[in-house]
Each structure stands twice: as C-alpha cells, then as structure tokens.
Structure 1
Amino acid sequence: MGTITRKREVVLALDIGGTYTKIGLVDKNGNIIGKRVFNTGSKNSFQGFVLNLEEEVGLLKAASGNMVKIIGIGIGAPNANFYTGQMEHPPNFKWGDTIPISDTISSLFKLPVVLANDANAAALGEYKYGMAKELKHFVVLTLGTGLGSGMVVDGKLLLGANGMAGELGHVNVDPEGRSCNCGLKGCLETYASVTGIKRTVFELLGELKEESILRKVSFDKMTGEMIAEQAIKGDVIALRAFEITGEILGSKMADTVAHLDPQAFILTGGLSKAGNVLLKPVVEHMEANLFGAYKGKVKVYLSTSESADAVLGPAALFWQDVP
C-alpha cells in the first residue's frame, strides 16, 4: 500500500489595500507557501473584486499543488469591523457604505473567516511573526494609500466597543486643513501617507524653485518609493516633503504616547521604505512633543517585513485562536 501524505494545514490570508490586494497561503509558523498580488479595484464594484479574488485564489491553489489544506481565511481590510465582519464607510473605496466581506467570502469558499482592520492585522502579524515578538505594548502604523494603525496593549489587540479602535489616520491635524476622503478636513492620513506626501510634494513644487526630477512626474504616476528614492539621493523637494511629513506624524505619535504609554511604534508600508529620511524627523518631532515622563522611553522602528509579507497579519488573525 502507498503512503498517505498528510496535507499541510494553511490559512488563506488576504490583505485588502486601497490599491493592491495581497493573498497568500500561510502555515501556523508563519511560512508563506505561496502568494499573489492583484489590483483591488477599490474605485470599481465589490462584485468585481470578488470575481477577481476567486480567480486569483484558484491560481494560488493550483500553484501549491495538492499538498495543502486550507482550514480558514484571515482578512485585513480598511475600516473592517471585527464584530460585524463588515467594512464600514472605507474612505478610499467606492464599494458602498457597509460591505459584507466576511459573509461573502465565507460563502464563496465555504470556510470560516476572521476579519479585522488591516492595521490591527498588521500589528498582530508583527507580534506573532515579526519585530514585536518581545513587546507587550506597541503601535503599528501602516503608511500606505492611507494611514492605518493597530494597537497592542498588554499583549492583546485593542479592538474597542465597535471593533474599530485605533483610527489614528483620522485624528485631526488642522481643522481647516486638507479634505479627506472620509468627509472630514485635516485628517492625519491626508499628510502622513503615500497620498499625503504626494500632495505635500506638489505643494512644494509650486512654492519652491529648486530643480527636482519629481517635476517631470504626474500625480498619478508618482509613488512613495519614488519620493523616498529621490530624498535619499538628496533631492531638496523630496527631503523637505519628508521633513514636513515627519514633523506632523511625530507630533501625533507623541499624542498617542500620552494615551497608551507604548514601548514602541513600528512603521510599515510604502513610506517606511525611506528609512532614516523618514525616521529621523519622526523621532525628532515625537521627542520634542512628548510629555516629560515619556521622553527617551519610546522606540520607533521601521518594519523589516517585505510588502508581500503583509499576508502574515491576516494569517495571524486566524491562527491566534487555533489550538
């Protein structure tokens, strides 16, 4: 008789972003068996996303052969409510006010689903598999299309009464400031995100006369990595944009310290790839705005996770409750 090979148990992990969705098969130890990336289509229909997802998951499963068994699905998504399983009023999406993510995807694949805010999922991923293994109190900031935040207090995700605690992207920087997709003005994510720093760059291009390669790039074509690359090369406009971003973000991180007294912040997402160009002004302005009792006590780290590793957070969401 032939030997029966036991299939490897994995979670199908989905990281739904405003621009791209990353999917992967992840085992309990955080090994990524396979992964794919596709355009989210956040400005199109939710039905279109579901069709694309079905196709992409089919391709992912085919690539893994017949060696894995998917036992469940973990999903990180903007404005996701852990309790209701819905995305609620996501500012950078045109899918509707409340989107039944958990029910739709659970029905599609006939598997149990755990859903949480994308940054909450990222925080859990850092805690279980990443830089926060030795920490009990920390905040993860995802600096992508928008700004997400996940908070871990005493080793547990802070969820809040409605499952939506930690929306630091929508704390106010300036009541008369930039219009945000959420309908408010002056939200932190309109300054400290990839979209925010692009807006800052274009304001600076209008105000300053310095030469910059960024003058040749349209708003739609510009990326956070592009601005970071130019800043590292010494581009005056890009460096000033990071200085402004770091000042605003650092001051709001100081406010968060007063609320939570964390050991550390972990910065992840597109903007974090700028390294010290971002880290230096953030730390400087956070320290300058800290209440005296906290000065010198709060670390700021750049996540070492690759962007494709974003699936580890949603996977950790599901695996945390599996014995």
Structure 2
Amino acid sequence: MLVAAPKPEDAPRTRAQPLSEIGCDSVGMPCISLAARVPVPRAARAFYHCAAACYHEAPMGRTAGIILIGNELLSGKVVDANAAYLCRELRALGVDVRRIVVIPDEVDQIAAEVAQFSGRFDVVFTSGGVGPTHDDVTIEGVARAFGVPVVRDARMVEVIQRFSGGNLNAARLRMAEIPEGALPMMGDGLVFPAVVMKNVYVLPGVPELFRQKFEGLKEQFRDEPFHLVSVFLSVGEGTLAEHLNEVVRGYPELMLGSYPELANPEYKVKVTLESKDRTYMERALGDFLARLPASVVVRIQQ
C-alpha cells in the first residue's frame, strides 16, 4: 500500500539545530556551498558579523537543506531551476532553508551529503538522479547514507506496471528500486509516488516533475509563517551600515538583510526585516525608521 503524505498537524516535528552546529563561512555568515566565494567589501563586514550573530541567537522553526545532484549542473550544461523554486515555496510555508549544495552523480558524495544533511536539518530534499539510466545513482547514494541496501519495492512495481501497460523491462524496473525502509509516498495530484527515506525526500531533477512532486507533498511542511517587511531607501549601504548594526544589536532575533540596487532609478537599497514574531518585527521596524530621515524612505512594503 502506498503511503499518503501526512497532514501538517500529523507530520513528525523536530527542532532546528543551532547555527553554531551548522557552520559559517569566513565572515561568519551561514554556509552555502559555492564553487567560488564572492569577496565581501570591507565596509560591509561589520554588518555581516552582526547579522551572523543574529542568526546564531535565533535558530528558526523547521529547517531544510537542498541537495542538487547532477554532472550537468556542475558542467554548466543545464541551469538549475529547482533550488530557487523550492526556496520560495518553503519560505512561504514557514520553513527556513539553511544550506544548498550542488554535487556530481557519484554515490559516495551523495551518501556523504545526505547523511550530513539528514542529521543537521529537519527535512532534506534531493533533486536529480532518479531516472532509469546509468548516471541515476541517487537512490543508491541515499541507501548508503543510511547503511541499508537498495531493494525492489512491490508497490513501486505495481505503479510502474500500470504506467507501462504491463511492459516491464530492466530500465523501468530500476525505477522501482528504493532504499530498504523507505516509503513511496503519494500526495495531492500525484500519479507517481515520491520516495521518502526518514526525513529525506527524493525528487526528480526535471523541473516540471520536481514541482509536481513538491506541490503534492508541500502541505505537510507548513510551519509558523515568516513576517516580512521591505523598506526601500534612497541612500547607499555606506550611510546605512551603522544603523543596521544598531538594529541587529537591539533585536538579536531579527533577520535583517540589505540589498543594494546599482541601476534602479527608484531606490538604492532595499532593507528587509523578517521574524516569525510579527510584533517583534514591527518594533524593530519602528526603531530602524526612527534612526533615518523621513526623506530617504522611498516606500515600505509588507
């Protein structure tokens, strides 16, 4: 029997890990694995240190990690569309994405990242490597991460048999292989199950299929929402840096971001204030605005 996706209130809950157990980059910011680091301007480093302290003090509710798998991503043959989509969707659900990695189609690397992510985040999503061809090795990597064999699942065979009209060849039967102990999970509108191993959701790399799978499962991930306000300003970050530092020091549970716009005729910087506590966010907003001349505020968007 295929397993239905749990309702949000029934989904297993674990708390987030403190960022001190997750790791930071060279300027103290939460880690996102990248092939190359972008140099941080000296004037911004003090702010980034304060922002990092804010994250250390205030791990959010449910956390997520995303593992993108595919040689084609690392070689530039294919541009990933799944991470940006998933980050937006999870944020709207109240889930805090803490890390994204891109790795090749190699079983050992998949196993290492899945094992690390599974222990570090509440929920993990993999993208790619689940087809019937030689380079689709994600299932094997996930199985190795949990120290279990890959088995052919009778429930998956039944689904594949229906899809193929009974024409089961070796390639199609490979799609029925899952880590031992994993669950084929159905969700709203899904015609083919997603494979779920503990807190790891194995999703396809094709963007249309990836979105279809996630849409069918997403309600089980819903958490307390984030409350966000954006302030658009006509002055640059050099003018704002000390004000931002003061706000972060005064509101250590606030997520504060500063995003310059070099070619926007309307504003120079967008500042975002975000928290799961609306009242706390609004107090921080009032404090920030009180530090600025009213003339530099272009608009405020909630």
TM-score (normalizing by structure 1):
0.24
TM-score (normalizing by structure 2):
0.25
